[in-house]
Amino acid sequence: MSVRKLTIQVKGQGLHPITREVSELVQTLRADTGICNLFLQHTSASLLIQENCDPSARADLENWLNRLVPENDPIYTHTLEGPDDMPAHIKSALTASCLSIPVIEGQLGLGTWQGIFLWEHRHYHGHRQLLVHIGP
């Protein structure tokens, strides 16, 4: 299979659901079984499989990580792109830029309450690029 690129629109910090976009691509590629590999081409955002039912779980995760890695910490020297840049790199280092999900009978093998999220760590509004590869 070839690698496909998904462009994901983000509207600021937070967990942006992308399960639908990835599922639709899996169905378009007509992959029956295999592994769906996702790779985010950015250093200030990440990927996450998490609770997809209750939005308070996502809010709690975001609040916790913001408390763990605050903006405007005087220890940061990488500040040219704004107060959210270095914290975003740290958050990205603590999380994941790639995920692997089984494909079973043409569907992502996610659990009942699992969803795929692009976790934007900056106050950025724009697009993020996600490479999707389905292999054996």
- Give me the CATH number covering residue 37: 2.60.120.460
The confidence score (pLDDT) of residue 136 equals: 85
Beta bridge partners of 39: 98, 131
The confidence score (pLDDT) of residue 51 equals: 95
Q: Is the dihedral of CA 79, 70, 11, 20 positive or negative?
A: positive
The confidence score (pLDDT) of residue 114 equals: 98
The confidence score (pLDDT) of residue 88 equals: 98
**Contact between 42 and 128 (Cβ < 8 Å):** yes
The confidence score (pLDDT) of residue 1 equals: 63
| Burial 86-101, CB ≥16 within 10 A → b, else e | bbbbbbbeebebebeb
The confidence score (pLDDT) of residue 68 equals: 97
pTM of the complete model: 0.94
Which spans in the chain are helix H? 19-29, 55-68, 85-94
SS3 94: helix
**Contact between 102 and 41 (Cβ < 8 Å):** no
Alpha-carbon distance of 123 to 134, in angstroms, equals 31
SS3 5: strand
How many domains in the chain? 1
Q: Could you tell me the mean pLDDT of each successive run of 10 residues in the chain, 136 residues long?
A: 91 97 94 95 97 95 97 95 97 97 96 97 96 94
**Contact between 120 and 110 (Cβ < 8 Å):** no
The confidence score (pLDDT) of residue 61 equals: 96
Q: Which domain holds residue 22?
A: 3-135
